[in-house]
Amino acid sequence: MRHLFLNGPVQNGPFTFATRPGKAVGIRLAAALNAILGLPPTPHLWNTVTLAGDLRHREADGPTIPRQRFEADLITDKYPPGQFPVGGIMTDTDAEVARLALEMIENNLCAGTLTISRETVPSCRACGHMTGTGSHPCNACGSTDTEDRTGLHLVAELAKDRPVLDRSDIHASHRQQPRHLQNTAGNVAERLILSRTRDHGIDLSPHGLDGLVLDPRVGIHVTVLAAARRHEADTAVMTITENAANHIAAHGQHFREHGGARLQYALHGYLPYDHTASLQPLHEAYRATQAIKESFETWFLPLFSLRTKTATSPEQLPALFKHYMRAHLAQPAEVNAAAFNAVQHAVGAGNVSWITNKQGLANVMAARRAPIPSAAGPAHG
Ligand SMILES: [Zn+2]
């Protein structure tokens, strides 16, 4: 089974990676895991189908700039100069994502897991935006004048014979299965409307749903599968926080398998990037170079986030930095092929215990600076 790690598409909000490094955890984690498996760089995935994005585009001097280009420019600005990703970027409205989405919708319609049916949904009388239930102003235009509108929609029927999330949907060894998430993710209506009113998204008019786009929670899954298809992977593993997985899992139920490829979630926690300055005394004690500090923050911490359910606390940072430095100092001159292969096997199996094992980590660090040895023995002497 060929695994490929891809980041859960990041919402293209108002931030840069320099100011909000926490936004890059999923991207960095996927890159670190792919590198251990010897896989080439993958595209960074972005979620651009948002109401906030619609409003930002409407307000900008240019609705004159086409939306696709507008989003791409905003994404490019998030990377420090000269650090645009080697594997490029892919957004949830790229042509290859849209093509795959329409294919998957078609298959699901044939299988009866999706239907197109007449639905009555609360909508804004002023602008037509689907407002959802409850009495609150329209999120798109602020009008309080809502009405029930009846029209065709794309609807998912959740499977009755299996849960929204089961063990096979999570990339983790049996011991690390997130039971809480499996329970909460299933806590949704039996029918979900997958068509939305947005300025920007995967256009559903080929299915007769004029003016509607695919729900971005579905699109996020299709984006990951489209990137995996480009790399011919059997299993696309999406790095994602438990919160985010809880938010999208039900919408993705019929969009986690296509053409022999399947999608799994690898869950990671949040990292205390706002508190890394507290490591200053340890940096001095270990005479840590800039490269070592950066590698700890952008490589090791994202890997460690796989071990935490919700968040790494700031108080854990000193112990983690010491562990990292001990492994750094214990790096073998030559990579131990057997130890490194054991880590590769663990990564493929969703086992994360090697990250806190000094020898395992030391061998992975050594492999980062040397060619990866073959199973037959060290590649060079
Ligand atoms: Zn409105």
Contact in structure between 7 and 27 (CB atoms under 8 Å): yes
As beta bridge partners, residue 121 has 149
Contact in structure between 185 and 246 (CB atoms under 8 Å): yes
**pTM check: above 0.85:** yes
pLDDT of the residue at 335: 94
**Nearest-CA neighbor of 129 among 176, 191, 196?**
196
**Nearest-CA neighbor of 205 among 132, 130, 105?**
105
Using the structure block, give the residue that is written with the tokens 């490269």: 291
Strands, E assignment, the chain? 3-7, 10-11, 44-47, 89-91, 114-124, 146-157, 191-193, 195-196, 213-214, 235-241, 257-258, 261-268
How much distance in Å is there from the Cα of 50 to the middle of ligand 1? Answer: 15
How much distance in Å is there from the Cα of 146 to the middle of ligand 1? Answer: 8
pLDDT of the residue at 44: 98
Q: Which domains occur in the chain, in start order?
A: 3-91+218-268 (3.40.50), 97-214 (2.170.220.10), 273-369 (no CATH)
- The gap from C-alpha 83 to its chain's centroid, in whole angstroms, comes to 20
How much distance in Å is there from the Cα of 67 to the middle of ligand 1? Answer: 20
Rounded CA-CA distance 6/111 in Å is 28
How much distance in Å is there from the Cα of 119 to the middle of ligand 1? Answer: 19
How much distance in Å is there from the Cα of 1 to the middle of ligand 1? Answer: 48
How much distance in Å is there from the Cα of 90 to the middle of ligand 1? Answer: 30
How much distance in Å is there from the Cα of 129 to the middle of ligand 1? Answer: 5
Cα atoms found within 13 Å of the Cα of residue 238, Cβ hemisphere only: 31
How much distance in Å is there from the Cα of 45 to the middle of ligand 1? Answer: 30
CB burial string 53-72: b at 16+ within 10 A, e below: bbebbeeeeeeeeebeebbb
pLDDT of the residue at 185: 80
How much distance in Å is there from the Cα of 140 to the middle of ligand 1? Answer: 5
How much distance in Å is there from the Cα of 126 to the middle of ligand 1? Answer: 5
How much distance in Å is there from the Cα of 270 to the middle of ligand 1? Answer: 35
How much distance in Å is there from the Cα of 153 to the middle of ligand 1? Answer: 19
Rounded CA-CA distance 332/63 in Å is 56
How much distance in Å is there from the Cα of 364 to the middle of ligand 1? Answer: 53
How much distance in Å is there from the Cα of 188 to the middle of ligand 1? Answer: 26
How much distance in Å is there from the Cα of 197 to the middle of ligand 1? Answer: 10
- Retrieve residue 11's tokens: 């919402």
Q: Which residues surround ligand 1, an ion (CB under 5 A)?
A: 124, 126-127, 129, 138, 140-141, 143
How much distance in Å is there from the Cα of 148 to the middle of ligand 1? Answer: 13
How much distance in Å is there from the Cα of 11 to the middle of ligand 1? Answer: 22
pLDDT along the chain (381 residues), means of 10: 92 94 97 96 97 93 84 95 94 98 97 96 94 87 93 92 88 81 81 96 96 98 97 96 94 95 97 96 96 97 94 97 97 94 96 95 92 45 31
How much distance in Å is there from the Cα of 345 to the middle of ligand 1? Answer: 52
How much distance in Å is there from the Cα of 150 to the middle of ligand 1? Answer: 16
- Retrieve residue 381's tokens: 């002497």
